[in-house]
Amino acid sequence: MLYLTRQNNETLVLSGIHDANGNLLDDVEVVILPNNRVGIHADKRILVLRKELICLYSQDGTLKSI
């Protein structure tokens, strides 16, 4: 695990992300916002979820019936 200390309005960039077909996607930007908030700019094809919610989704990205 990589631990970083960031200040408000600083950004991390995740690059080199490919889709299931091997196509390179746009970079993902993670912005640190005030009040312990995080902003994420990502390609619409990237599903962004809180880890706590991942168990609710199946592998194809559709919501499992509860």
What are the domain boundaries of the chain?
Answer: 1-66
The answer to pTM > 0.75 is no
pLDDT by position in tens, the chain (length 66) = 888 888 899 999 999 999 889 999 999 999 999 988 999 999 888 888 887 777 776 666 676 655
Distance CA 30, CA 40 (A): 5
Structure tokens at 58: 């199946």
CA distance 15 to 18: 9
- The conformation of residue 51, written as its DSSP 8-state character, comes to H
